[in-house]
Amino acid sequence: MAVISTYSLKPFNEKIKDEELLHLLRRCLFGVGHKDLTFYKGKTLSQCLTALLTPSPTPPPAREELSDGVDLNPAIKVGGTWVHEAFENEEVNYRRKLMFRMWWTGLILNRDFSLTEKMTLFWHNHFVTETDVVKDSRYSYFYAAMLREHALGNFKKLIREGTTCPAMLVYLGGNTNFKSAPNENYGRELMELFTLGKGYGVQYTEDDVKAAARVLTGWHDDKEKSTGVFDPAQHETADKHFSSFFGNTVIRGRTGPDGANEADDLMDMIFSKKETARYVCRNIYRWFVYAHVDDRIENEIIHPLADIYIRNNFEIIPVLRILLGSEHFFDPVFRGCIVKSSADFLLGSTMEIGVTVYLAPDKTYTNLVDCHEPWLQYHLTCEDLAMRIGDPPSVSGWPAYYQAPKYHQWWINSASLSMRKKITDGLSTHDGLIFNGYSISFDFLNYAKQFQNPENRDGFIQQVTDLLFAVPPSKSLLDHLRGLLVSGMETDYYWEKAWKKLVEHPDDKETEEVLNARLRMFFAKLLSLPEYHMM
């Protein structure tokens, strides 16, 4: 039985081995492809972390992508953004919600070398809104843009801003939180799910929830400006008294527009509790390292990380730098111990191997950057795999990150595994997965070409499995699969010959197809192995 051998947060070796680098990248990116490895290989651990912790540039806003439909707003053309424009009716809003979701999925599919997308999704899971509950496509867009802006930034700022962002005001009833009839929903989730958590010595009271709700009375969403606005007339101006857990804090009632600032006081109080930092660090740990946090991890990893978090006034980068660069993180016991989320599996495999999008009749794209419609298809497929980005199943996020003792095994059941196999099988066929006017298929030949000496069959298989698998498939299994590359021939000679021919005649379609046919069958099997579900 595997055991953890180090609980140290001390920096790990600066010179990291390939398998250690891959471990780091698998956890931080969605899939690891040749491009990623090329970028990171040769860097020291510090350099790797610096690159990972460099925020991606702010992406262009969500746009009108679907040429088949029409946004009724004449200001909006295909390719133009709609995020600042009112929508006329629910149909338009519905289309925009789809475009919002495909925008998000597209950002992941076009990720760079930064941790930004992984952390954006982390905050989405941590600080949930659901697009279909929020209902206003613009609100959800601004919510997601906010998560991305703060993804590698300051958590306290994120929560403060998010508390009064229109999406959250709608999602958890902040906009119906009036002086005359406070709505406790947000106050409760703020403490229980977004900041303090439950258990681990957290002892806020029901009255604290009510007091927090009263602090936030008067906020509501503004349809015109797509922001949260403060209405002093609806604000409870009396003092708010908190329990001994908060040191009997009193948030003084403020009147007029100044009432809005009570939200800041509330944040100060909640963020003064070390439990908040610990709760977030625990969730970070589960996201990046391992689901199961025992007492020793709590004391020797989570608590010190929380102290760093507090010392850095809730900037996340120093915490991530310590955790992802620690001896503990690189303990081999954690290599390949996380079951891939649906996004990690679906978007990750696409990022790893690369796909070709064929547009009917003969137009070919080599990547997903220029062809936007597949982004929506990826979004919907991820949804079929129980991960609807933009709409987690509840305010608690995906059960994979909180539901003990199953945690990440939540992704895995007979339906999802069948579906995962169908998807990788489909992407592994020549025709790929076919949609209206285009198809998507893995580009195995291009992937294979980027390995060193792919004509050396065993060397090729070794490199492929090193790159694709966090838990290596067994040698005996690979011994069976290797035959697929040579159609059961007993020698490598013909495999080598085909590659040589391709080098000599790079445009020879027949040779390409001879290699592709074998690669397709080989990879379809590899990608359906149980080991491929681990990262």
Q: Which of residues 265-324 bind another protein (CB under 8 A)?
A: 290
Assign residue 488 a region: left if phi > 0, alpha if psi is -120 to 50, beta otherwise?
A: left
Residues contacting 88, CB < 8 A, separation 6+: 72, 73
Helices (H), ranges, 42-191: 45-52, 90-109, 116-126, 131-134, 137-149, 155-163, 166-171, 185-189
| Least distance (Å) between residue 434 CB and another protein | 9
Q: What's the min distance (Å) between Cβ of 520 and another protein?
A: 8
Distance (Å, whole) CA 134 – CA 187: 18
Q: What is the footprint of another protein within residues 62-121 (CB under 8 A)?
A: 66, 68-69, 90-91, 94-95, 98
Residue number with CB closer to another protein (191 or 302): 302
Alpha helix (H) residue ranges in 234-341: 262-271, 274-288, 295-297, 303-311, 316-324
Considering only 153-161, 203-211, 217-225, 426-434, which stretch makes contact with another protein by CB under 8 A?
426-434
Site string for another protein, 506-525 (x = CB under 8 A): ---xx--xx--xx-xx--xx
**Position 259 contacts another protein (CB under 8 A):** no
413 lies in the site for another protein, by CB under 8 A: yes
> By CB under 8 A, which span of 209-217, 222-230, 248-256, 369-377 interacts with another protein?
369-377
Q: Comparing C-alpha atoms, which of 342, 217, 288 is closest to residue 27? A: 288
The least distance separating another protein from the CB of residue 489, rounded to whole angstroms, comes to: 6
Is 490 an interacting residue with respect to another protein (CB under 8 A)? yes
Q: State in angstroms the smallest separation of the CB of 525 from another protein.
A: 7
Which residue in this structure is represented by tokens 């613009």?
Answer: 138
Q: How far is CA 393 from CA 116, 118, 141, 388, in A?
A: 23, 19, 18, 8
Min CB(256)–another protein separation in Å: 43
Number of alpha carbons in the 13 Å side-chain half-sphere of residue 93: 15
Q: Of the candidates 44, 203, 272, 418, which one interacts with another protein according to CB under 8 A?
A: 418
Q: Does 403 bind another protein (CB under 8 A)?
A: no
Q: How far is the CB of 437 from another protein (least distance, A)?
A: 8
Report 456-475 residues binding another protein (CB under 8 A).
Answer: 470-475
Choose among 85, 28, 83, 38: nearest CA to 61.
83
Q: Which stretch binds another protein (CB under 8 A): 168-176, 223-231, 302-310, 412-420?
A: 412-420
Binding segment for another protein (CB under 8 A), chosen from 181-189, 253-261, 270-278, 484-492, is 484-492
Angle ∠(155,157,162) on CA atoms, nearest 5 = 95
Task: Tell the smallest beta-carbon distance from residue 416 to another protein (Å).
Answer: 9
DSSP reduced 3-state for 438: strand
Beta strands in 30-85 (DSSP E): none
Residue 164 or 424 having the CB closest to another protein: 424
Q: What does the DSSP assignment read for 209-241?
A: HHHHHHHTTTEEEETTTTEEEE-GGGS--S-EE
Q: How far apart are alpha carbons 334 and 20 in whole angstroms?
A: 11
Task: Select 313 or 418, whichever has its Cβ closest to another protein.
Answer: 418
Assess 433 for contact with another protein (CB under 8 A): yes
Compute the distance between CA of residue 260 and CA of residue 194 in angstroms, rounded to an integer. 20
Whichever of 230 and 411 has its CB closer to another protein, that residue is 411
Q: Is 218 in the site for another protein (CB under 8 A)?
A: no
Region binding another protein by CB under 8 A among candidate stretches 71-79, 207-215, 250-258, 422-430: 422-430
Among 60, 491, 504, 507, binds another protein (CB under 8 A): 491
Q: Is 136 in the site for another protein (CB under 8 A)?
A: no
Provide the angle, in degrees to the nearest 10, between the axes of the packed helices 316-324 and 274-288.
Answer: 50
- Residue 283 or 428 with smaller CB distance to another protein: 428
CB 165 within 8 A of CB 144: no
Instruction: Please give the structure tokens belonging to residue 159.
Output: 């929560």
Binds another protein (CB under 8 A): choice among 254, 419, 446, 450 = 419
Closer of 155 and 523 to another protein (Cβ): 523
* Cα three-residue angle 307-313-318, rounded to 5 degrees: 65
Asked if 483 touches another protein (CB under 8 A), the answer is yes
- Please give the residues from 376 up to 395 whose contact with another protein meets the rule CB under 8 A: 376-377, 380-381, 383-384
Segment near another protein (CB under 8 A); pick from 209-217, 263-271, 274-282, 373-381: 373-381
